[in-house]
Structures are given as C-alpha cells and as structure tokens.
C-alpha cells in the first residue's frame, strides 16, 4: 500500500460502541489522502474483531496491555512516520467528524508553514449546536486553561481562524516534522494535560497552533474516561500532571501564582465539587495525585491506570 499523506490515529480501549460512528464519518471525508490506524489498548469487548470485519481498510495495532493515551499514541505516531506520513491526526474514538473536516484542517495547515497543530471546532455530541472547544489558551501564571465558547450555543461567534496556545488531544492534526523536532507526548503523564505540555513545547520552538472553525467534530465528553460513575481517574491524573507541568515549564517567578491558582482553582474547586456530588473516590484521587506528583518519574497505580484511554 502506498504511503498516505496523513495517518488518522484512533486510540481505543473497550470502546466498540463508539467505533461505527467514528469510522463511518471518516469514510465520508471529502479528502481521501489518509489512512486510518486503530491503536487498541488491549480491549476485551471485541473491538478489534469488529473493526476487522466492518472496516477492513483500517489498520490495527493491538497492544498486549493498556499503555495509556501518551504511550499508545506515540507508538501510533512512530508507525505513521515509518510509513512516510507527513501528518498525523490524533482523534478520539468517541467522536464523529464532518465530511469536510480533514480537508479544512489540511487547508489551514498548508497556508501556514510554521503551524505545528491545527484543531477543529468541537461540539458536544448530545448537544450538537453547543461548543465543547473553540480553541483554548493555557497560562503558566495561573495554571488555568480557558476553553473559548465552552457550553455556549454555536451562533457563528467563533468562526474565525485564530492562533491558540492550547491544542486538545481530542482532535489535533500534527505536522510530523514538528513533532519529531520537539519530541512526542510525554509518557510520564500517561493521560491528561499531555496536550498542554505538547502545546508549550511547540510554542517554545517557534511553531504556531491554530483553531480552524470550518473543520467540525462532535464529541462524547468523557465518554471513554468515566468509570463506575466516578471521575477518579481523570481527577488523579489531571492533578498529578498539572504539578509535573509546573516543574517542567514554570519559571521561578511564575511559581507563586501558578501554585496559588492550582490550590484555588483546581484543588479547592474540585474538592468542593466532588463533595457536593458525593464522589468521594474522586475526592481522594485529588490528594493522591498531589502526593504522587513528587516522584521524579511518575508512575500510575493500577487503581488509576485502567480505563483512561482517550482524551476527556
């Protein structure tokens, strides 16, 4: 098979119920110069067999263990580059993409040679005219992410392409040469906040990140990361990884405000939220994340690793 210009990498862990809609939407793309790779994190729900039967054009790399978002996607990127792909599109399995999505993202990328990443307009699957993402920005001064348009109705108010400082791992088209220069996803993070870290590294190398509103994606928020009604895995990993991000990137003069923002906006807010919702498992996970962030090479306890396989 000749090399495609782009490889779409779909990460999956027991997400068979989402795969039909996702792969069917990729079949309808107006741009065809891409191939699709399913990175399967040791699913046990028949996902691999289902894809082989229903979507034989999809290549599958089945892992023997759940390696998390970062490691599994990195393996997919390595495979794509070895096959000669110039771009990779990291795409959650719980998404569907509009027919012109890839074509619009490629157009944005081709018009800016310093663009390392292009992210689309992302809407809620259950509320298809409501924003999940219209670009985002992260501040090392406050430790906070600002998602433009979050939960607003799409009334064309964010229909201009613009520069952003935080891409989202839910759906991001990445220039392979830029990824090779800055390095792939930080596997110490396992999942969550890795897109913020990658964004910072791209920007510090002089690359740009773009939001392209003419490319549209619909997303089941948290569809593959909530377990047993609890947010404990996401809570643990985001808490721990924000502190790792601080150690990696914050300058000494940013530390006071970063940590103050982290304590107020993250620890304080989510502690109150988990108490209010009676999610005591997630409440404990916040403080486990703080304790375990002190490890020089963070590991993920089994309690928190199994199940988190796609971006929030």
110 vs 301, more confident: 110
End-to-end CA gap in the chain: 33
Tell me the pairing of strands 144-147 and 34-40: unpaired
Asked if pLDDT for residue 250 goes beyond 70, the answer is yes
Architecture of domain 6-219 in this structure: Alpha-Beta Complex (3.90)
Q: What is the pLDDT of residue 299?
A: 64
Which contacts qualify for 253-260: CB closer than 8 Å, 24 or more apart? 254/140, 254/141, 257/141, 257/142, 258/140, 258/141, 258/142, 258/143, 259/143
DSSP-assigned beta bridge partners for residue 7: 35, 88
pTM (2 d.p.)? 0.93
* Mean pLDDT, residues 64-84 taken together: 96
Q: What is the pLDDT of residue 119?
A: 98
Q: In angstroms, what CA-CA distances link 138 with 135, 166, 251?
A: 11, 6, 15
Q: Where residue 297 falls among pLDDT bands split at 50, 70, 90? A: low
* Mean pLDDT, residues 232-250 taken together: 96
Asked if pLDDT for residue 4 goes beyond 80, the answer is no
Q: Is 221 exposed, middle or buried (0-12, 13-18, 19+ CB in 10 A)?
A: middle
Contact of 209 with 158, CB cutoff 8 Å: no
Sequence ranges of the domains in the chain: 6-219, 232-305
H/E run at residue 123: strand 115-124
Cα 165 to Cα 32: distance, rounded to the nearest angstrom: 29
Asked if pLDDT for residue 308 goes beyond 50, the answer is no
Per the prediction, the chain carries an average pLDDT of 93
Q: Where residue 296 falls among pLDDT bands split at 50, 70, 90? A: low
* Cβ-proximal residues to 216 (8 Å cutoff; 6+ apart), any chain: 97, 98, 101, 120, 121, 122, 123
* Cβ-proximal residues to 269 (8 Å cutoff; 6+ apart), any chain: none
Asked if pLDDT for residue 223 goes beyond 70, the answer is no
Asked if pLDDT for residue 224 goes beyond 60, the answer is no
């Amino acid at each position: 098979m000749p090399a495609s210009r782009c490889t779409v990498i779909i990460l999956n862990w027991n997400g068979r119920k989402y795969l039909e809609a996702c792969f069917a939407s990729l079949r309808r793309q107006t741009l065809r110069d891409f191939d699709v790779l399913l990175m399967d994190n040791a699913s046990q729900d028949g996902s691999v067999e289902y894809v082989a039967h229903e979507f034989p054009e999809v290549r599958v790399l089945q892992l023997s263990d759940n390696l998390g978002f970062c490691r599994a996607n990195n393996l997919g990127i390595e495979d794509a580059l070895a096959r000669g792909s110039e771009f990779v599109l990291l795409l959650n399995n719980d998404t569907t993409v509009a027919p012109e999505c890839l074509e619009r993202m490629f157009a944005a990328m081709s018009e800016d040679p310093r663009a390392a990443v292009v992210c689309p307009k992302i809407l809620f699957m259950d509320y298809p005219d409501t924003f999940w993402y219209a670009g985002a920005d992260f501040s090392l001064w406050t430790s906070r992410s600002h998602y433009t348009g979050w939960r607003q109705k799409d009334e064309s108010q964010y229909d201009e392409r613009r520069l952003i400082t935080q891409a989202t791992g839910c759906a991001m088209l990445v220039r392979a040469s830029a990824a090779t220069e800055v390095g792939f996803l930080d596997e110490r993070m396992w999942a969550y906040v890795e897109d913020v870290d990658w964004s910072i590294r791209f920007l510090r190398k002089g690359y740009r990140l773009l939001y392209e509103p003419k490319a549209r994606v619909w997303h089941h928020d948290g569809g593959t990361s909530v377990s047993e009604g609890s947010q404990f895995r996401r809570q643990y990993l985001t808490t721990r990884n924000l502190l790792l991000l601080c150690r990696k990137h914050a300058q000494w003069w940013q530390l006071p405000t970063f940590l103050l923002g982290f304590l107020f906006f993250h620890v304080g807010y989510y502690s109150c939220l988990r108490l209010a919702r009676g999610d005591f498992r997630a409440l404990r996970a916040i403080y486990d994340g703080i304790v375990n962030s002190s490890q020089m090479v963070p590991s993920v306890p089994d309690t928190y690793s199994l199940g988190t396989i796609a971006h929030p």
